[in-house]
Amino acid sequence: METANRSETGEAGETVETVTRHYARSGSLAQSILDIAHRFADGRQPTVGDLAPLDQFHMRGEEATVEFAEMVRPKAGEVCLDLGCGIGGPARWLATHCDVEVLGFDLTESYCQDAAALSRAVGLSERVRFACADATRLPLAEDSVDLVWTQHAAMNVPDKAALYREVARVLKRGGRLALHDIMAGPEGLPHFPVPWASAPEGSFLLSAREIRALLAEAGLEELVWHDHTADALAWVHRRRADIEAGTPRPPGPHLFLGPGFKEMSSNLGRSLEDGRITVHMALLEKP
């Protein structure tokens, strides 16, 4: 699979480096994740289900992925592009539960390597493939994929108009874009650092109104749009209550993403509560 040109210069190249440096800060993750999964699986070979609490790097984790898939209803045999795939959690979930073929693209090389290693460990190398690529310059032919799936990725893309034009280009006629994204709230910038950016230089949020306008300009027809900010807030409050009550915390990314992850998670909750970010799920179609 062709990969994006990584020799970019100027402002765009600096943005790529800012974003990838943030995500690569903890180094290779696959072995740590597999060690944790082995431990919680009593030493047996981990499955996609065992990895799910650890490899879903978005708010509400697997719970949100299940809810998102119920809205999108991927069809068996479809070719799905997971854009901003991270370490491949949703891609593996889709391949296993929806019987689709998944291509996962991400800017961060270490994430792509981890995604491939984790997929090999659960026997999915033939059905889920990963490569480094820029979401605004996809190495795919026109009209080549049935479904573009993206969860918590557009926050790191400065040129969202180019992003959605590329999505429209690679989608087949009648193909769909499924997005689950964090967007700008009315009360100013998020509290930094947050899980997707260490500083404002790596974060590029637009309001839901602005995103919807860009999607329409790209020629994508809106089928469903849901504001899930209240669900995300409830999830934050449940987690906080469990911590305050001393409830044992289930396995999750906090076990391997380093000491800074606690502050990022706290700022995510504060940003939601203060109206600085919102969370949305949507389904659009290329007519």
Per-residue pLDDT band at 43 (split at 50, 70, 90): confident
Say if 14 falls within a structural domain.
Answer: no
Q: Is residue 19 part of a domain?
A: no
What's the rounded mean pLDDT across residues 200-219?
98
Q: What number of other Cβ atoms are within 10 A of residue 76's Cβ? A: 7
**How do residues 5-35 score in pLDDT, each as one tens digit?**
434 446 778 889 999 999 999 899 999 999 9
Residue 209 has pLDDT above 70, yes or no: yes
- CATH number of the domain residue 251 falls in: 3.40.50.150
Whether residue 4 lies inside any domain: the answer is no
Percent of the chain topping pLDDT 70: 97
In a domain, 173, yes or no: yes
Look-up: residue for tokens 């299940």?
Answer: 66
At residue 223, the pLDDT reads: 98
Domain count, the chain: 1
Residue 64 has pLDDT above 60, yes or no: yes
Percent of the chain with pLDDT over 90: 88
Contact 104, 85 (CB under 8 A): yes
In a domain, 49, yes or no: yes
Predicted pLDDT at 5: 41
| Residue 131 pLDDT grade (very low, low, confident, very high; cuts 50, 70, 90) | very high
Global pTM? 0.93
Residue 99 and residue 283: Cα distance in Å, rounded?
19
pLDDT surpasses 80 at 4 = no
Domain that holds residue 279: 27-285
Instruction: Flag whether 126 is in a domain.
Output: yes
Q: How far apart are CA 186 and CA 150, in angstroms?
A: 23
Kindly state the tokens that stand for 200.
Answer: 């404002």
Residue 235 lies in a domain: yes
Q: Does any domain span residue 171?
A: yes
pLDDT > 50? residue 48? yes
Task: Please count the residues of the chain.
Answer: 287
Q: What is the pLDDT of residue 7?
A: 41
pLDDT tens-digit profile of 144-193?
999 999 999 999 999 999 999 999 999 999 999 999 999 999 999 999 99
